[in-house]
Amino acid sequence: MYDLIVRGARLGGETVDVAVAGGRIARISSRIDGTAGREIDAGGRLLSPPYIESHVHLDTTLTAGEPRWNESGTLFEGIRIWSERKGSVTREDVMERATQLLRWQAAQGVLHVRTHADVTDPELVGLQALLEVREKVRDWIDVQIVAFPQEGMISYPRGTELVEEALRLGADVVGGIPHYEHTREMGVESVKETFRLAEKYDRPVDIHCDETDDPHSRFLEVMAAEAIRTGMGERVTASHTTAFGSYDNAYAFKLMGFLAKADINFVANPLVNITLQGRYDAYPKRRGITRVKELWQNGLNVSLGYDDVMDPWYPLGTGGMLQPAHMTVHACHMTGRREVVACYEMVTTNAARTLGLEGYGVAEGGGADFVLVDAPNEWDAIRRLASVVLVVKGGEVISETRPPETRLMGEVVDFRREGREG
Ligand code: FE2
């Protein structure tokens, strides 16, 4: 007698039954005899480990239009609007909005989220709110918080102290924003400070690095050098690195070899960077995204984030992770057969590596955290921007979605499911 059996799911190219007992995956087999408290017919749908959000800002989310919409669509109008909205930020306000987005994400099969919390605020209101949210939602979604000095660590008064205070209060990861510091030298100093704090408090690093079209913004090399010096490579993440898309090829080639040695993780945020970057270009306009394809081809770990969902910098979004994966396929020329699947991995297995998750994946004896996707495989999940119809966390069904049914002249037309299977 099991707690749950999911029958007829696609996993690793095979059709299997999956039995769950005591919060763990008890068995995976082509046919499981026996009964369960609940049986679910997967109908040939993909059984996947949960989606992972590698980079989002829960403290600014769901404020789009408050007090006004960003009509120019630029980063700088976004910053102006946020400074107007900031006055009405309270702990309750942040908690309510952050929890709402986490609910949207869990409902869409996202069970791990890394959020940045702006700590350039002497009261640390957003950080305190997100620490409280992290504990309140613990049973259904896992949240990691980055102590992120939005207005600079060295340039902002007591910036480094505020980051350190956030770590003492329980932030999981040390952040930074070197390209925003007043000078190149201050940027270099901030990267070194981030690593110093990471070593002192034994925390991973996740830096907003070179999020600009300026080809002279070269803090990624400083991060890589620090990762090599400290041996922290796999616990280090370079987020955005959009300037990498603007470096000349001679420098990019040298850098790529150096990055492979550093063994750091990369997070691209294609939805936001394709819209925020390139704003100062005449035609041809740059795409403003890091070299996802080349990083992937060189064996570096790349995962994806939303960055913003309905805030002054990006008015759209649902929190579903197939949207950034779908955008990556397009904006980063990842349309090859294997490349599309690689983009799926960027919101699942690669992201697990970025977040340093242990025991992630669907395997006998492992934790029963998985989702059923309304598609037969990963490739098709991206093509269809498929819904997640079932979310299982710790062996419990926490979310169910009824797939839509469309009738044309009285007959079911299943354009969501018909098509070429790969
Ligand atoms: Fe960000």
- Counting residues of the chain whose pLDDT is more than 90, the rounded percentage is 95
Residue 421 pLDDT exceeds 90? no
DSSP state of 206: E
Please give the distance, rounded to the nearest whole angstrom, from the Cα atom of residue 298 to the centre of ligand 1: 24
Please give the distance, rounded to the nearest whole angstrom, from the Cα atom of residue 56 to the centre of ligand 1: 6
- Please state whether beta strands 51-56 and 110-118 pair in parallel, antiparallel, or not at all (unpaired): parallel
Domains of the chain: 2-49+361-413 (2.30.40.10), 51-355 (3.20.20.140)
Residue 422 pLDDT exceeds 60? no
What would the mean pLDDT of 225-249 be, rounded to a whole number?
97
Residue 168 pLDDT exceeds 90? yes
Residue 10 pLDDT exceeds 60? yes
Confidence tier at 418 by pLDDT (50, 70, 90): low
Could you give the dihedral angle defined by the CA atoms of residues 257, 260, 264 and 269, in that order, rounded to the nearest 10 degrees? Answer: 70
Looking at residue 417, its pLDDT comes to 64
- The Cα–Cα gap between 83 and 237 comes to 28
Name the token pair of 385: 């921007």
Residue 405 CB burial class (10 angstroms; 0-12, 13-18, ≥19): exposed
Instruction: Express each pLDDT in 349-383 by its tens digit.
Output: 999 999 999 999 999 999 999 999 999 999 999 99
Cβ(53)–Cβ(305) under 8 Å? Answer: yes
What would the mean pLDDT of 137-146 be, rounded to a whole number?
98
Name the token pair of 254: 């040298």
* Nearest CA-CA partner of 197 in 238, 155, 148: 148
How large is the C-alpha radius of gyration of the chain?
22
What would the mean pLDDT of 261-290 be, rounded to a whole number?
96
- The Cα–Cα gap between 249 and 67 comes to 43
Question: How does DSSP assign 182-197, residue by residue?
Answer: SSHHHHHHHHHHHHHH
Amino acid at 60: T
Kindly report whether the global pTM for this prediction surpasses the value 0.95.
Answer: yes
What would the mean pLDDT of 188-196 be, rounded to a whole number?
98
- Counting residues of the chain whose pLDDT is more than 70, the rounded percentage is 98
Looking at residue 120, its pLDDT comes to 95
Looking at residue 223, its pLDDT comes to 98
Ligand 1 is a single-atom ion; what residues have CB below 5 A from it? 307
What would the mean pLDDT of 176-189 be, rounded to a whole number?
97
Looking at residue 414, its pLDDT comes to 79
Please give the distance, rounded to the nearest whole angstrom, from the Cα atom of residue 55 to the centre of ligand 1: 6
Residue 420 pLDDT exceeds 80? no
Please give the distance, rounded to the nearest whole angstrom, from the Cα atom of residue 301 to the centre of ligand 1: 18
What would the mean pLDDT of 114-127 be, rounded to a whole number?
97
Name the token pair of 160: 């480094």
Which residues, 6 or more positions from 212, have their beta carbon under 8 angstroms from its beta carbon? 179, 242, 243, 277
Please give the distance, rounded to the nearest whole angstrom, from the Cα atom of residue 362 to the centre of ligand 1: 29
Instruction: Express each pLDDT in 47-106 by its tens digit.
Output: 999 999 999 999 999 999 999 999 999 988 998 999 899 889 999 999 999 999 999 999
Looking at residue 102, its pLDDT comes to 98
- The Cα–Cα gap between 184 and 217 comes to 8
Name the token pair of 31: 């046919």
Looking at residue 419, its pLDDT comes to 56
- The 3-class secondary structure across 4-52, one letter per residue, is EEEEEEEECCEEEEEEEECCEEEEEECCCCCCEEEEEECCCCEEECCEE
Catalytic residues: 211
Please give the distance, rounded to the nearest whole angstrom, from the Cα atom of residue 41 to the centre of ligand 1: 39
Please give the distance, rounded to the nearest whole angstrom, from the Cα atom of residue 101 to the centre of ligand 1: 16
